[in-house]
Structure 1
């Protein structure tokens, strides 16, 4: 690996937080190492608040393979148009490698890289290999995973699969060096409720009533920060006021690292970025996986953290106010047990994820990557 030579890299990701946060973490690390980075995404991704402010961004068309034969045909036309635009970008930007983070907007950039003989890798944030990553897995040069066990990853791909973890922001990673917040028996008990970048109505519907069912001595200690959808926030605020539970409401939490820093317990979905941040910081959680997630990947995401005792997982169909109150009492009435759960969550964090991923990306550089775009590329052995 030649770490002294500055190179160009293209990161391609779908527009949701689960794809964008690790892409942003890698972009920051590669930039810190002296490289230049460009992002390819959809309109949502390039506008994601606070993540890519100083990074060159490009929106490429990319359809979704839904809606039957007519929808598929339209999606393929859009992807092919995006592929052509990506190839034009590569003629001037000349990337040493293209890295996909999943989501349909990553597809045109990867297809263009295949066509131009540019080294490629994908990073899978979830414990189930996503659809786009499954589609390209046989053609990319490397697959980076976030969990020791990743479903839908076939054994024949093992040789080029690397466990790196899911990168998180430096501000979250810094929490590993800070102790779990002191929790005294009669002190304030801080709860963070988050549904991820898109919020979760089920948490807004259940959590205020569940907390209201706690014994009065416990309920009076609560201090809640709750991220809610914009259409839910007024009703949630009214519920907390009705139950006389101090709560701060927001539709987006730009200071998530600081929120995690003081939280004694997190109630959340089980998205990839959420799990990565909880295990990086070492925060115990009650997890409610999104049942409609593709391949039920959130349930699988929660498995590792739950198995070691860092979280309790409640299926959404069983997530009621009564069940939440029961689990809260089991966790919250024993400060030592809660701190132990925090340590167990921390034990499955992978703090070197972003540096390990950046090392892998730098290792992809090859003579093929330095050929002029459009020049004959040497064949790759795995494509033979």
Structure 2
């Protein structure tokens, strides 16, 4: 643990994919004795999993769609958010601001650069996101989750650091556990999720695909599937018609326990999903979201697919028969599935939170600089200006 407590601000857009690694970094920095604050938007403030110690500052986030008529409003919101962020920095005095992508990160990082505060961006996907592309040339460091990231300019690679994508501690704790025994006559446990809201294509295809497996494999199935609320009854009826035991729900609080027991995962290819699968070492059949920005989910799967830890099926080819064929190829022999699990595990980067925290700390002030900063703060107090806020009062 460092001997000097510093202040850091994390800025992340309002999706779980951006917030989950931000929460993991916040926990690691707090464990090291630092004070951490979060800048996000209304959606981000509602994402579950935020550590209790982490104070959230909600800023307006301007969005820039394809309609230029809306850009003026987006620019106005960004400038308003930038001014609000600078007011946070005036009292909190961060050593660095770390952006995780999404529109709320933009005003926070612009405000930091205006105040000459060090800035770092973390890219979770295998394609550099829009906000990160906009800021890549101006930040002090770029942290990536993959060794090859599309849209990352060659002249930015000197300040690029491969750290991985931080995952939740409760998931990371499963890394040293053995892959659950998969025998020729034992249960075949399949976990199906499509993100926080499920995915309709999985609800439509997976039950029928599992029903097409050879009887010796199908009879051993035990399925857990996350569905959209409006799809729940229809999916339940499909499994019942196929006589396949399935536990369905719109949300599972103990998802890490279900992941620990799973022999095969079927779902989307979001960055956090792949980070957790590879952290634990679980074979997967992944269906990249076709409307994902810059098709980044298709890029996300390449490393683990190449290693042999997963198979990828484009959504327009994701049929019941194709799914059954891919499952049979992976699970026909126990050693095939175990080998895929090991390949997935080898792609994991379990030290991502630690390595990202190390990078962030490299931009923290040296002890003498902290003394100077505190002294300056005391002089401002004497002159009637506000002092730097403590963590509890931010």
Fold match (TM-score > 0.5): yes
Quote the residue 2:70 is aligned against.
71
Cα separation, 2, equivalents of 1:119 and 1:231? 46
Quote the residue 2:263 is aligned against.
264
Cα separation, 1, equivalents of 2:255 and 2:32? 26
Quote the residue 2:354 is aligned against.
355
Deviation at 1:256, TM superposition (A): 2.0
> Do the aligned partners of residues 53 and 231 (structure 1) sit closer, same or farther apart at CA in structure 2, a change above 3 Å counting?
farther
Helix, strand or coil at the partner of 1:144: strand
Quote the residue 2:8 is aligned against.
9
Quote the residue 1:339 is aligned against.
338
Helix, strand or coil at the partner of 1:9: strand
Cα separation, 2, equivalents of 1:24 and 1:171? 13
Quote the residue 1:176 is aligned against.
175
Helix, strand or coil at the partner of 2:291: coil
The alignment status of 1:213 with 2:212, answered yes or no, reads yes
Q: Is the 8 A contact 2:209 2:320 kept in 1?
A: yes
Deviation at 1:234, TM superposition (A): 2.1
5+ residue gaps in structure 2? 381-394
Q: Is the 8 A contact 2:222 2:246 kept in 1?
A: yes
Quote the residue 1:196 is aligned against.
195
Quote the residue 1:382 is aligned against.
none
Helix, strand or coil at the partner of 1:232: helix
Cα separation, 2, equivalents of 1:308 and 1:50? 31
Cα separation, 1, equivalents of 2:52 and 2:195? 21
Q: Is the 8 A contact 1:16 1:197 kept in 2?
A: no
Deviation at 1:140, TM superposition (A): 0.6
Q: State the Cα RMSD in Å.
A: 1.6
- Residues 160-206 of structure 1 deviation map (CA, whole Å, 9 limit, x = unaligned): 10000000111111111100000111111000001122321111110
Deviation at 1:50, TM superposition (A): 2.6
Quote the residue 1:322 is aligned against.
321
Cα separation, 2, equivalents of 1:192 and 1:365? 42
Quote the residue 1:301 is aligned against.
300
Q: Relative to structure 2, which stretch is displaced further, 211-220 or 55-64?
A: 211-220
Q: Is the 8 A contact 1:166 1:276 kept in 2?
A: yes
- Residues 66-112 of structure 1 deviation map (CA, whole Å, 9 limit, x = unaligned): 14222111101001111111111111111111000000011111111
Q: Is the 8 A contact 2:96 2:117 kept in 1?
A: yes
Helix, strand or coil at the partner of 2:301: helix
Helix, strand or coil at the partner of 1:331: helix
Q: Relative to structure 2, which stretch is displaced further, 210-219 or 116-125?
A: 210-219
Cα separation, 1, equivalents of 2:43 and 2:185? 44
Instruction: State the TM-score, normalizing by the size of structure 1.
Output: 0.94
Q: Which has the higher Rg, Structure 1 or Structure 2?
A: 2
Q: Is the 8 A contact 2:20 2:49 kept in 1?
A: no
Cα separation, 2, equivalents of 1:23 and 1:13? 7
Deviation at 1:216, TM superposition (A): 2.2
5+ residue gaps in structure 1? 376-384
Q: Is the 8 A contact 1:144 1:163 kept in 2?
A: yes
Q: Is the 8 A contact 2:281 2:344 kept in 1?
A: yes
Q: Is the 8 A contact 2:23 2:49 kept in 1?
A: no
Deviation at 1:53, TM superposition (A): 3.4
Instruction: State the TM-score, normalizing by the size of structure 2.
Output: 0.92
Deviation at 1:257, TM superposition (A): 1.5
Quote the residue 2:139 is aligned against.
140
Cα separation, 1, equivalents of 2:150 and 2:197? 25
What number of residue pairs does the alignment pair up?
373
